[in-house]
Amino acid sequence: MQAAQLFDLTGEVALVTGASSGLGSRFAEVLASHGAKVVLAARRVDRLTALGEKIRLAALALPLDITDRSAIGRAFDRAEAAFGPVTVLVNNAGVVVAKRFLDHTPEDWERVRTTNLDALWFMAQEAAGRMIKAGIAGAIINISSILGYRVTAGNSAYCVTKAAVAQMTAALALELARHKIRVNAIAPGYITTEMTEAYLASPVSEQTRNAIPQRRAGSPSDLDGVLLLLASRQASGYMTGSTIVVDGGHMCAFV
Range of the domain at 189: 3-253
Active site residues: 158
d(CA 1, CA 234) in angstroms, rounded, equals 9
Please tell me the predicted confidence (pLDDT) of residue 2. Answer: 77
Task: Assess whether pLDDT exceeds 90 at residue 123.
Answer: yes
pLDDT tens-digit series, residues 155-173: 999 999 999 999 999 999 9
In the structure, what pLDDT confidence band is assigned to residue 220 with cuts at 50, 70 and 90?
Answer: very high
pLDDT tens-digit series, residues 22-47: 899 999 999 999 999 999 998 887 78
What pTM does this model have? 0.94
d(CA 63, CA 15) in angstroms, rounded, equals 12
Please tell me the predicted confidence (pLDDT) of residue 5. Answer: 87
**Residue range 179-188: mean pLDDT, rounded:** 98
d(CA 135, CA 195) in angstroms, rounded, equals 38
Which residues face 143 on adjacent strands? 186
Number of domains the chain contains:
1
Which residues face 162 on adjacent strands? none
Q: Give the contacts of 246 (CB within 8 A, at least 6 positions apart).
A: 186, 187, 188, 189, 218, 222, 223, 226
Query: CATH number, domain at 28?
Result: 3.40.50.720
**Residue range 216-224: mean pLDDT, rounded:** 92
Query: Which has the minimum average pLDDT: 57-66, 70-79, 147-156?
Result: 57-66
Please tell me the predicted confidence (pLDDT) of residue 237. Answer: 96
CB burial string 223-239: b at 16+ within 10 A, e below:
bbebbbbbbbbebbeee
Please tell me the predicted confidence (pLDDT) of residue 193. Answer: 80
pLDDT tens-digit series, residues 224-249: 999 999 999 999 999 999 999 999 98
DSSP 114: I
Burial class of residue 169 (count of CB atoms within 10 Å of its CB; 0-12, 13-18, 19+): buried
